[in-house]
Structure 1
Amino acid sequence: MKHQLAALLGALTLGATCLTAAGPASATALSWQPCAQPGGPDAQQCADLSVPVDHRNPHGARLTLRVSRLVGDGPAARRGTLLVVPGGPGGSGVESLAHNGPKLREALHGAYDLVSFDPRGTGASTAAGCGLSAADRDVMNLRDWPGPGGDIRDSVARSRRIADACARNGGAVVRGYSTANEVRDIELLRQALGTAKLSMYGVSYGTYVTAVYAQEHPGRTDRVVLDSTDDPDPARVGRAWTANTAAAADERFPDFARWAADPARDRDGLRLARHAADVRPQVLALADRLDRTPRATTTAHRPFTGNVLRQAVQQALFSDVNFPWLARLVKSVEDPRTTPALPAGYTTPMPDRDASVFTATLCNDVRWPRDVRGYARAVAADRVRHPLTAGQPANITPCAFWHTAPADEPVRITSHGPSDILMLQNLRDPATPYFGALRMRAALGDRARLVTVDRGGHGSYLANGNACGDRAVTEFLLTGHRPAADTRCPA
């Protein structure tokens, strides 16, 4: 679910990972120290939480999670703790709190101590890598795009190579990257915080972690917000999240097309077409030309291919603020007089630890099909139905060759539990599409209310300027009041 892998995704191998032996699983109090992050508030504090590598062996090897907080600066009678659960898999909660904590604290009038954490494998928490080659950590390879015409032979070889490397080099830490262990870690964090109940705010993949925690520990939740949610189907989990992005791109792209065809774009030279209906064929035709004849770029030996353009489109659809960047990119690639530059993050490989935690979490959460020919058929069909994504969401991944079965069966989200959940969802989300959120809403039953925001992009609360959606979340977190029924906020 944070599918912009350059943002998700210092590599550490298992040999360099700091593990300690023995010790009880029960959490101890946290020792907070100042840890202001670049560009973040001076008041940010951090602490380390010790958790078992394997919760089934609580007296065995351990690792540490970096935890961070912004103490509420409101009146003495505060609500307690709001745990901000990061997206990903692979997102850093410490970094997120530095960037988003101040506006969240302001919106909530300092009523909560805001707490977040770096899940195992991320940020300043203990991590292990798979020892992947630089080529296999390339953003265009790890988010594996089929070759021109839908050829997946390179993808199959790469997926097998990555799975083998993780089995050979990752060890127990990589095997422990999973939603189930993140939920267990959160319960130890709750104990260490000394609070009987947590209020929780999960975004993107963090909504799934939050929903699983609320399912497993219903008596430990206070007020729960799920912002930008996907399908919780326990038979598929991450497979569904990836597959759903094909239709999600189709639902979101018209927002960009209308923007790019607006006569107002003439002022900046960014108008791509006279009519919105012409923008999609223009982009698809350009991608097809680049498939046949890639263009040289300002980076030696790194051509601008059709898949680079498709990946850039996916990245831009996350927020309207990216639309000017995408329009300039399209114009640059179309102009034979220019040498286009690759987008930022496309020229250097991801750190091994980031690539490893992203891949391993998806593979450790659920069993994936292993039939290579089945993936080839799925890619061929998906390319026809959803040419914007050209079969990538249906393509094979390292999970098809993963060496170990999931240690835990995925949790089924149900309507059994307290009615303390508020969902907020953009109507045209390119990463966690609305139809996936409706499946989570149906699973939760009367436990939840859904506020639908008539906007595009990924992430809603305090992210897209919709006062109606923001007000619903703020009021719920401050007063506990939810809409009596599901409701919709206009654009």
Structure 2
Amino acid sequence: MTGQRGIRRSTALAVALSLGLSGSLVTGPAVAEGAGPSPVRWGDCPEDVVAGAAPTVLECATVTVPVDYAVSDSAEIDLMISRLASTKPDKRRGTLMLNPGGPGGSGLTQPAFLVSQGIPTSVLDSYDLIGMDTRGIGRSAPVGCGFTPEGPYFANIPPYAVDDAAVTAQAEVAREAAEQCAREDDEGVLRYLTTANTARDLDRIRAALGEERTSFLGYSYGTALGAAYASMFPERSDRIVLDSNIGDTHLDQDGMRRYALGTEQTFPDFARWAAARHESYGLGRTSAEVRRTYLALAARLDEAPVAGIDGALLRQLTFAYLFKELRYPQLAQQFQALRSGDAPAVRTARTPEATADTPAGPDNSLAVFLAVTCNDVEWPEKIGAYRSSVAEDRERYPLFGAATANITPCAFWPYAPAEPPVPVDDDGPRNILLVQNLRDVPTPHIGGKMLRQKFTDRSRLLSVDDSGHGSYVLSGNPCALNTTTRYLVTGEMPAKDTLCPAK
């Protein structure tokens, strides 16, 4: 439910905010030239943020934004932001806004997380790192649909559909999920959770911070948000780093289906890892044998689940644990336990992409993912279209294709998109560095290539011979770390698209 969560009415917004929204995408300046937000007043962070950031100490503040930028008397919400300020005034360049992805991921502690991962001091000296809960998330007027872990809708990636009947059955789950969101939306806020509005919020935050321009570092869905901001406000964007790109300014059905491509491209890394440890896990002496073990186990669990784990949940688990090599031992352990008929040690299908948790709980992250994804772009409505997609991807991407092509609540979403998706604007400064692992589960390498083609000469693509989701600071690849840090600190962009060799 959205009631009593910081939503209020305002009659003071400038009429200029409504310009340009009658059936077309509003431009950056038309939004930002209205009555600006009040300057930020920094103070202590909420206790859960303090605990999550420890030992790093952050400051927190709120910035007020309209729910609907298209009307002059829109309701308003407060967005909570955090700051890890530079302590070197002589080296400080400005602000570096952060987004962890999702959509639906809480980002208030992200500055501290990057510190814990070893982000270079030169970056910390150059920027105030700005984390945030974007609209609808966590402490920024959180929304929800009333989803529970026990309910039929528990993850934003649908279950693997073994046949047409499974697609039809999932359609009823998806329909009820969409209707449940509509019933719980008592403040009428869900329809305004869009990438375009969040990009406008970023510009409001920039103005409140007193900055003429802002830099941005976004991961996964954060690349869509960063691409939208750089397109809507090109002259207000400074140095933009987009890591693990989904390929556009929004996630659509094709983008979701690419999760299956990423799984196919990443699974061989796990298979080689497991084959080298066959004496311990017994999953196969070669990569091909490990793959056959997985497919046979999934098929067996389709027929006879073990301890409540069926083939669909095994496939969700596998997708989740392919995100990082650090999870490979746990994944091998699950395979080993299930093959022997034992209950696995971990029973979760949650991933940073599918159900990123927030301080408001998993329902909050699920609801935001749905709202933003369904509001940004039209999705197919006919169940038959999903049956065809599932059948095609079951053959094309046998590991996970019949899940990511399956039907979602977007097919039954009660709100039509208020505006077209943000078009990528290649007319602007050359200030966009795209960072992309060659093998990445939810954001395969093609996403970086797609955005490179759309931004043309505004961008450069830094490909990284690595496996996993997230590269800069997160992968340990020295070339990716050095190249990206050099760009953020000095502004030196690679002269051409570059491949970083394996570490």
Normalising by structure 1, report the TM-score.
0.90
The match for 1:326 among 323, 331, 339 is 331
Which residue number in structure 1 is paired with residue 146 of structure 2?
Answer: 131
- Cα–Cα, structure 1 residues 48 and 313, in superposed 2: closer, same or farther, change >3 Å? same
* CA offsets 1:30-57 (integer angstroms, 9 cap, x no match): 1111222325344201001111111112
Do the aligned partners of 1:227 and 1:459 also contact (CA within 8 Å) in 2? yes
Identity over aligned residues, as a percent? 39
The separation in 2 between residues aligned to 1:401 and 1:139, in whole angstroms, is 17
Q: 2:205 aligns with which of 179, 189, 196?
A: 189
Change (3 A) 1:139 1:293: same
Distance 1:153 1:16 in 2: 37
Written as runs of structure 1 = structure 2, the 5 A alignment for 1:140-179 is 140=155, 142-150=156-164, 151-170=166-185, 171-179=187-195
1:215-242 CA deviation, whole Å, 9 max, x = no partner? Answer: 111110111111111221x7x7432221
Question: What does residue 248 of structure 1 align with?
Answer: 262
In the TM superposition, residue 335 of structure 1 has moved relative to its aligned partner by 1.2
Pairing 1:238–2:215 present = no
Aligned residue type for 2:183: R
Greater displacement, 72-81 / 404-413: 72-81
Cα 1:69/1:58, change in 2 over 3 Å: farther
Give the letter aligned to residue 343 of structure 1: R
The residue type equivalent to 2:391 in the other structure is A
Q: Which amino acid aligns with 1:220?
A: R
1:317 aligned partner: 322
CA shift, 1:440, in A, is: 0.4
| Corresponding residue for residue 18 of structure 1 | 6
Q: Cα distance 1:130–1:432, how it changes in 2: closer, same or farther (>3 A)?
A: same
CA–CA distance in structure 1, aligned partners of residues 386 and 240 of structure 2: 37
Aligned match of 1:294 in 278, 282, 305?
A: 305
Please give the residue correspondences for 1:354-433 in structure 2 after superposition, counting only pairs within 5 Å: 354-433=365-444
CA distance in 1: counterparts of 2:205 and 2:160, whole angstroms: 41
2:467 maps to which of 432, 440, 456: 456
1:30 aligns with 2:35: no
- What is the alpha-carbon root mean square deviation over aligned residues? 2.0
Q: 1:200 aligns with which of 216, 221, 246?
A: 216
Counterpart for residue 103 of structure 2: 89
Stretch moving more, 128-137 or 56-65: 128-137
Offset at residue 109 of structure 1 (A):
4.8
The one-letter code of the counterpart of 1:129 is G
Counterpart-to-counterpart distance in 2, 1:126 and 1:75: 34
1:343 aligns with 2:343: no
How far apart, in 2, do the equivalents of 1:284 and 1:481 lie?
A: 46
Residues 31 and 109 of structure 1: CA distance in aligned 2, closer, same or farther (over 3 Å) = closer
> In the alignment, does 2:443 pair up with 1:444?
no
Partners in 2 of 1:161 and 1:342 — Cα distance? Answer: 28
Task: Tell me: CA distance 1:192–1:127, structure 2 relative to 1, closer, same or farther (3 Å).
Answer: same
Residue identity opposite 2:137 in structure 1: T
- State the Cα distance separating 1:147 from its structure 2 match: 4.1
Measured in 1, the distance between the counterparts of 2:146 and 2:161 equals: 25
- When residues 39 and 193 of structure 1 are mapped into structure 2, their CA distance, relative to the original with a 3 A threshold, is closer
Distance 2:457 2:130 in 1: 28
- Residue 272 of structure 2: which of 258, 267, 279 is its match? 258
The aligned amino acid for 1:26 is G
State how 1:71-110 maps to structure 2 within 5 Å: 71-74=85-88, 76-101=90-115, 103-104=118-119, 106=121, 108-110=123-125
| 1:238-287 per-position Cα deviation (integer Å, ceiling 9, x unaligned) | 32221111111111111001110115x64xx2352111111111101000
Distance 1:339 1:93 in 2: 34
1:321 and 1:107 map into 2 onto residues whose CA distance is 27
Greater Cα shift, 210-219 or 143-152: 143-152
Mapped pair 1:111 → 2:115: no
CA distance in 2 between partners of 1:344 and 1:113 (Å): 36
What secondary structure sits across from 1:48 in the alignment? strand
- Matched residue type, 1:329: Q
For 1:386 and 1:478, locate their aligned partners in 2 and report how far apart those are by CA, in whole Å.
Answer: 41
Where does structure 2 lack aligned partners over 5 or more consecutive residues? 14-34
| 1:345–1:249 CA distance, 2 compared to 1 (3 A) | closer
Q: Does 1:62 align with 2:67?
A: no
After the TM superposition, which of the residue ranges 426-435 and 162-171 deviates more from structure 2?
Answer: 162-171
Report the more deviating stretch, 381-390 or 355-364: 381-390
- What are the superposed Cα offsets for residues 383-405 of structure 1, whole Å, 9 maximum, x if unpaired? 11111115111111111111221
Q: Give the whole-Å Cα distance in 2 for the aligned partners of 1:208 and 1:222.
A: 17
Code of the aligned partner of 2:130: V
Distance of aligned partners of 1:109 and 1:53 in 2 relative to their CA distance in 1, 3 Å threshold: closer
Determine the C-alpha separation between the residues in 1 that align with 2:167 and 2:411: 13
Aligned pair in 2 of structure 1 residues 238, 41: CA closer, same or farther (>3 Å)? farther
Change (3 A) 1:19 1:463: same
Distance 1:42 1:95 in 2: 9
Asked if the contact 1:294–1:305 (Cα under 8 Å) also holds between the matched residues in 2, the reply is yes
Change (3 A) 1:79 1:124: same
For 1:331-376, what per-residue CA distance to the aligned partner results, in whole angstroms no more than 9, with x for missing partners? Answer: 011113x333442466x99632222111111000000111111111
Which secondary structure state, in structure 1, belongs to the residue aligned with residue 223 of structure 2? Answer: helix
Check the 8 A contact 1:136/1:162 in 2, yes or no.
Answer: no
Q: CA deviation at 1:71?
A: 0.5
Which residue is 1:120 aligned to?
Answer: 135
Report the Cα offset of residue 436 of structure 1.
1.8
Q: Which amino acid aligns with 1:61?
A: A
Give the aligned partner of residue 312 of structure 2.
307
Does 16-25 or 238-247 show the bigger shift? 16-25
Residue type of the alignment partner of 2:60: C
TM-score by length of 2: 0.88
